[in-house]
């Protein structure tokens, strides 16, 4: 297509930058392959009494057909069709027996049943108890060979992936910045919600990685301490230069104990919401604009002047809102001591929030069907899939300077005077 063409190329399903879609597609392929294998085994079992004159089995496995793409509602999924061989049939004048998958007919390229099957299975929390009923409703009673054990094996694979990831060695890793946050999920009719604690780190090369993921009853200091200690015990010896999180006191307390050298940056997105919750709705737009004048200031001095102005303007009527802002003054302005290219990244916990937004949406719709175990695995797979699409930090060339301890003032590198200059 020429550069001056007026034709606009539409994005295809496989190009959609959505971590949930990536998880669904991976799960779709695994589930479909395992379901077809279950069909083949059931078919062979039903034919085990058919024998050749010499006593050998007449119907046997015969490898796989070539890999092909099946168009589904979540984009193209690559699958292979299992094959069986009838070693009798033509030789004795009888009819040759063939096998055709219920899920994947021989010449199928698109199936409406599959479009609906996999999203439903996923959104229902991959419940083995509901699988047979769901398959019967979508594929009809002619699909008796699809056992709930297929989906159980898929969940076991996810659990194994999670266990391997939790035990990986971190001794060769270094993280300049880390973002921390948590999301509460309550499955079925459980009396208490579980809190998914997540830590994302930025490497010296500017790449974002999922560093820690753990489930606790709440965002307590003990829960965060366990996660941070586990990360440290698996080899993360060097403390991050800066941690970005909301106002959860548990995290900051645990961080002081495990990585005391790490500087603190309060998330401006969370702080803005907290301040706005303490003023009437009618004045929230004005308050939000004044808060923006602080965290978008080009230098710290200007930000401090804007903060003082905010304090004078609202203390008389909205003292609690002002106190909410000013008590974290230093932690809110810490980003001015780091490269300006990184400010957009370190002023908020957006790297986590964007992923959690999808998690909250999905689990809100499905919380009555999910078990806690399934919810935990779903969040983990969602996070690991999303990690593949995370963008690198801008100004990655500045990261080695941060590691080396170079001083930045208002986002600009400060050259230390030499002894000759001082003289």
> pLDDT per residue over 114-129, tens digit each?
433 443 454 444 455 5
Ramachandran bin of 137, using left for φ above 0, alpha for ψ from -120 to 50, beta for the remaining angles: alpha
| Cα–Cα distance measured from residue 227 to residue 217, given in angstroms and rounded to the nearest whole number | 13
Residue 212 bridge partners (DSSP): 199
Residue 149 CB partners (closer than 8 Å, separation 6+)? 38, 128
CB 153 within 8 A of CB 46: no
- In a 10 Å sphere around its CB, with 0-12 CB exposed, 13-18 middle and 19+ buried, how is residue 378 labelled? buried
Residue 194 bridge partners (DSSP): 185
Q: What integer pLDDT is reported at residue 193 of this predicted model?
A: 67
Q: What integer pLDDT is reported at residue 303 of this predicted model?
A: 97
Q: What integer pLDDT is reported at residue 168 of this predicted model?
A: 93
**What are the residue ranges spanned by the domains of the chain?**
13-161, 169-404
| Cα–Cα distance measured from residue 293 to residue 301, given in angstroms and rounded to the nearest whole number | 12
- pTM, two decimal places: 0.67
Residue 4 has pLDDT above 70, yes or no: no
Q: What integer pLDDT is reported at residue 229 of this predicted model?
A: 95
| Angle at 293 (CA atoms; ends 287, 299), nearest 5 degrees | 155
pLDDT by residue (tens digit) across 217-231? 677 889 899 999 999
More confident: 137 or 226? 226
- Residue among 201, 200, 249 at smallest CA distance from 352: 200
pLDDT by residue (tens digit) across 371-393? 667 667 777 877 777 777 788 99
* Chain CA centroid to CA 358, Å: 9
Residue 268 has pLDDT above 90, yes or no: yes
Ramachandran bin of 99, using left for φ above 0, alpha for ψ from -120 to 50, beta for the remaining angles: beta
* Chain CA centroid to CA 313, Å: 41
pLDDT by residue (tens digit) across 149-183? 555 666 777 788 889 999 999 999 999 999 998 87
Looking up tokens 């079992």 gives 45
pLDDT by residue (tens digit) across 278-311? 999 999 999 999 999 999 999 999 999 999 999 9
């Amino acid at each position: 297509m020429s550069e001056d063409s007026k034709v606009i190329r539409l994005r295809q399903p496989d190009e959609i930058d959505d971590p949930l879609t990536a998880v669904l597609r991976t799960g779709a392929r695994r589930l479909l392959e395992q379901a077809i294998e279950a069909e083949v085994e059931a078919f062979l079992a039903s034919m085990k009494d058919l024998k050749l004159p010499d006593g050998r089995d007449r119907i046997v496995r015969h490898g796989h057909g070539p890999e092909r793409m099946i168009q589904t509602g979540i984009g193209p999924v690559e699958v292979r069709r299992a094959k069986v061989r009838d070693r009798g049939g033509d030789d004795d004048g009888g009819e040759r027996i063939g096998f055709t998958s219920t899920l994947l007919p021989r010449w199928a390229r698109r199936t409406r049943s599959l479009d609906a099957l996999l999203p439903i299975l996923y959104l229902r929390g991959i419940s083995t108890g509901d699988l047979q009923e769901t398959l019967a409703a979508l594929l009809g009673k002619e699909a008796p060979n699809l056992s709930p054990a297929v989906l159980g094996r898929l969940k076991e694979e996810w659990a194994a992936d999670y266990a391997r990831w939790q035990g990986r060695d971190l001794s060769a890793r270094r993280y300049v910045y880390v973002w921390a946050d948590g999301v509460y999920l309550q499955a079925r009719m459980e009396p208490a919600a579980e809190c998914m604690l997540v830590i994302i780190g930025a490497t010296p090369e500017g790449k974002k990685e999922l560093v820690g993921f753990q489930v606790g009853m709440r965002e307590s200091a003990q829960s965060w301490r366990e996660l941070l200690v586990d990360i440290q015990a698996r080899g993360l010896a060097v403390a991050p230069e800066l941690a970005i999180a909301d106002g959860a006191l548990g995290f900051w307390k645990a961080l002081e104990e495990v990585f005391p050298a790490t500087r603190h940056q309060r998330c401006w997105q969370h702080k803005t919401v907290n301040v706005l919750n303490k003023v009437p709705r009618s004045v929230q737009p004005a308050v939000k604009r004044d808060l923006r004048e602080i965290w978008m200031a080009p230098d710290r001095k200007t930000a401090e002047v804007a903060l003082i102005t905010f304090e004078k303007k609202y203390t008389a009527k909205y003292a609690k809102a002002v106190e909410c802002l000013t008590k974290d003054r230093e932690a809110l302005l810490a980003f001015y001591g780091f490269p300006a290219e990184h400010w957009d990244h370190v002023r908020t916990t957006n790297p986590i929030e964007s992923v959690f937004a999808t998690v909250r949406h999905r689990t809100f719709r499905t919380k009555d069907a999910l078990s806690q175990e399934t919810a935990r695995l779903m969040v983990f797979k969602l996070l690991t899939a999303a990690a593949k699409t995370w963008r690198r930090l801008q100004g990655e060339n500045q990261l080695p300077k941060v590691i080396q301890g170079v001083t930045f003032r208002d986002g600009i590198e400060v050259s230390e005077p030499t002894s000759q200059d001082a003289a």
